[in-house]
Amino acid sequence: MPELVLSASDDHVQRLAKERDPIRAIIELIWNGIDAEADRVDVNFERDHLDAITRVFVQDWGHGISVDEVEQTFGEIGNSWKSRSKRSKHGKRRLWGSKGEGRLHAFALGDRVEWISVARDSVKKRWRLTIKGDRTDRGRFAYETVEVSRKEALGTVFIAHNDSQFQAVQRLDSDRARASIAATFAPFLLNNPSVQLNYDGTPINPSEQIADDKTMERVVESEEGSFTYSLRLIEWKAGRHHSIYYGESTDHAIFEHDAKDIEPRYNFSLYVAWPGIGDSSSEIALGDLAPSPYAELVRDVKSAIREYFTWRRRQDRRDQIEIWKKSGVYPYKEPPQSEAEKVERATFDLISGTLSAHIAQAKASASLTLHLLQNVIRHEPESLLKILHEVLALPPSDREALTELIESTSLSNIIRSTSKVADRGRFLVALDHIIYDTVGSKHVEEKDHLHRMLEKELWVFGEEYNVMRSERGLTEALRTHLRLSGLPTDKVRPVQTPEGKGGRLDLHLAVSKREHGRVRHLVVELKAPGITIDRKELDQVEDYANTIITEPRFRNGSSTWDFILVGSKLGGTARNRVHAEGVRRGLFHDPPVRDEAQPRVQAFVRTWREIIDENRSRLEFFSDALAHDPSLPESLAYLRKAHAKSIPDSLRDDPGSEETPTG
């Protein structure tokens, strides 16, 4: 049996064989079949009783290996005829291989390899050619030829015998291997639908696995000048594939690069086509360190991937928001009424859309999560940072973008302020209803309803009050007074009114204004809507006020006490006792200060209507100020710049601009 001896050392052949990469070997053998103009290539495995792969078969129905060309085809490393021809033997296809090294990859599949090929010679006779090689002597191939009938089908069968149970071969029996094969040949199979590729008994049909297929062109500036290249990006429905393929055309790659570090979330294959790439796989492999123009090409390809998937994430977020709206779980039911509300809504959409993968799909769970997220964004957005950094496995780009968004001081302030205005406005509407509604007000009580609500809404009486005592007696009021005055509180005896009663205060609010060394107290006495304020109610509050003056332990000339009696309507006696106009409006008790140690004490009557209307006026002023806040344009500009494709159309400079990145 004649032999073909390669003019290279065994260790050199071993390096070229890449024996730890069986998937690459299968890819090379499939390309050989395609270059042989086959319309069908099958990859099959023979397994033992433990389901381990013992033999690998790659069969094609191409024109085969001619006996006239065997010495040139197998006898040399490099100098392949393919490098001198751009088309296959009969001009049917553009050639893929060109280095003359592909057959050496076969040793990654087994200890012994063989090719059995039927082809025509130069005078149209058919010959069966059998070529055998062994890993123990990689540079030597034995072959024999036998003339066969014209009826014998053309084509080649490759067989690898995995006698030593080479473990790497078992990787062929994996989803990763199938995904890699499908991704490598997807452009070719999509462009050549008549070609069949079967892997382990199952057709490789990329069109069934494609989630999206985009093409684009980009221009690159390099030291050598500018050039244009094209991209084809295929997203896969499933799998874990993240690869870039470089070649002169999108369906014939010379080099594959793992792109998981560029985009780990989406499953995709990117096919880079540039006529100037030639046979420069070694330069492309250097990445950013490659000489010009390859380094510029690699960098621009990475940028294209990042730009595209940034756009994809934005699209996914917007789509998810629409799904939530249609299902009724989106927490905002009405359109935003101001620019500030638009900012809050856009911020919520950005954050919730980014976190959508971590939000349950069940309607009830999604609704609860989104409402909680809305509340956190409104009131304490900083607490989200811990979730972003320590809990959720977000891609770094998403995590950094959200961190920057949340830490935007002006943005957070606007959201908090907008939320506060909206919440307070809703509370005033509700308070107005329960006080003045002819039916509902009959069921409102001081202790069970008004006290409990107003304990949480102290801003109704003044923003400055930060210490509050509810439903406490005068003794507790004394403790608060002493504490704010810097005096001890551990030996306080009970305080009584002049009539000998303990006296209970509905709401006692107090604040210490340190810059003036003063302590200000506000005592609110609440009356249910059904009670008319008259002599009895005025006298009750006046007794409390007089106790502050007569009780020695309250004596502190730097303290002031304002008592406010609040109800829905006044009787005749009350109207006669209170001032009706000016700064003293509502004042009914204003005892003179007789010495420097006596606290200043005043008592007023206020109706709920006065309190509600005054607060509404303050909110309107605050809303107007917020709308003209100089930080609002800054926040809007930030959202438009950093998240242009994610925010609502009404906030974008170019509404409707949702085109796919094209470079």
pLDDT tens for 230-253 read 999 999 988 778 899 998 888 778
**What is the spatial distance between Cα 222 and Cα 297, in angstroms, rounded to a whole number?**
8
pTM of the model: 0.59
Give the angle 162-163-169 at the CA atoms, nearest 5°.
25
Token pair of 46 as six digits:
């023979």
Q: Compute the mean pLDDT over every residue in the chain, rounded to the nearest whole number.
A: 79
Least confident of 194-198, 457-461, 475-479: 475-479
149 burial (CB, 10 Å; 0-12 / 13-18 / 19+) is: exposed
Token pair of 203 as six digits:
């057709």
Least confident of 141-145, 332-336, 395-399, 533-537: 395-399
Structure confidence at residue 197 (pLDDT) = 97
What confidence tens digit (pLDDT) does each residue in 438-475 have? 665 666 666 667 777 777 787 888 766 544 444 344 44
Q: How confident is the model at residue 652 (pLDDT cuts 50, 70, 90)?
A: low
What confidence tens digit (pLDDT) does each residue in 198-222 have? 999 999 999 999 999 999 999 999 8
Does the structure show a pLDDT above 70 at 184?
yes
Structure confidence at residue 549 (pLDDT) = 85
**229 vs 662, residue with greater confidence:** 229
Least confident of 81-85, 159-163, 197-201, 471-475: 471-475
485 burial (CB, 10 Å; 0-12 / 13-18 / 19+) is: middle
Secondary structure (DSSP) of 96-164: ---SS-GGGGGGGS-SEEEEEEEEE-TTS-EEEEEEEEETTEEEEEEEEEEEE-TTSPPEEEEEEE-TT
Structure confidence at residue 605 (pLDDT) = 92
Least confident of 301-315, 439-453, 518-532, 544-558: 439-453
**What is the spatial distance between Cα 342 and Cα 418, in angstroms, rounded to a whole number?**
10
**What is the spatial distance between Cα 324 and Cα 651, in angstroms, rounded to a whole number?**
20
What are all long-range contacts of 286-289, with beta carbons under 8 Å and residues at least 24 apart? 287/257
Does the structure show a pLDDT above 90 at 129?
yes
Non-local (6+) Cβ contacts of 563 within 8 A are 523, 524, 525, 541, 544, 545, 589, 601, 602, 603, 604
Q: How confident is the model at residue 60 (pLDDT cuts 50, 70, 90)?
A: very high
**What is the spatial distance between Cα 306 and Cα 328, in angstroms, rounded to a whole number?**
33
Of 561, 454, 446, whose CA–CA distance to 510 is shortest?
A: 561
**What is the spatial distance between Cα 640 and Cα 654, in angstroms, rounded to a whole number?**
10
Phi-psi domain of 636 (left: phi exceeds 0; alpha: psi -120 through 50; beta: other): alpha
Token pair of 445 as six digits:
């009580």
Structure confidence at residue 27 (pLDDT) = 92
Token pair of 54 as six digits:
């013992």
Mean pLDDT of 60-73: 86
Mean pLDDT of 630-656: 58
Least confident of 79-83, 88-92, 223-227: 79-83
Mean pLDDT of 577-582: 75
Of 121, 165, 122, whose CA–CA distance to 146 is shortest?
A: 121
**What is the spatial distance between Cα 130 and Cα 132, in angstroms, rounded to a whole number?**
7
Least confident of 187-201, 557-571, 637-651: 637-651
Cβ neighbours around 145 below 10 Å, total = 16
Mean pLDDT of 312-319: 86
Does the structure show a pLDDT above 80 at 638?
no
Structure confidence at residue 132 (pLDDT) = 93
Mean pLDDT of 627-640: 59
* Alpha helices (H) along 407-473: 409-436, 452-455
What confidence tens digit (pLDDT) does each residue in 263-277 have? 888 899 999 999 888
Does the structure show a pLDDT above 90 at 11?
no
Does the structure show a pLDDT above 60 at 625?
no
Non-local (6+) Cβ contacts of 578 within 8 A are 570, 586, 587, 588, 604, 605
Mean pLDDT of 322-336: 92
Under 8 Å between Cβ of 290 and 284: yes
Does the structure show a pLDDT above 70 at 430?
yes
Of 513, 581, 508, 596, whose CA–CA distance to 545 is shortest?
A: 508
Q: How confident is the model at residue 331 (pLDDT cuts 50, 70, 90)?
A: very high
Structure confidence at residue 22 (pLDDT) = 92
What confidence tens digit (pLDDT) does each residue in 503-529 have? 455 566 555 554 466 777 788 888 888
**What is the spatial distance between Cα 187 and Cα 271, in angstroms, rounded to a whole number?**
8
What confidence tens digit (pLDDT) does each residue in 339-381 have? 778 878 888 888 888 788 778 788 888 888 888 888 877 777 6
Q: What share of the chain is helix, strand, coil (3-state, %, to 5)?
A: 45, 25, 35
Token pair of 547 as six digits:
């106790």
Q: What percent of the chain has a predicted confidence (pLDDT) above 70? A: 70
Measured torsion, CA atoms of residues 236, 238, 242, 248, in degrees rounded to the nearest 10: -30
Phi-psi domain of 51 (left: phi exceeds 0; alpha: psi -120 through 50; beta: other): left
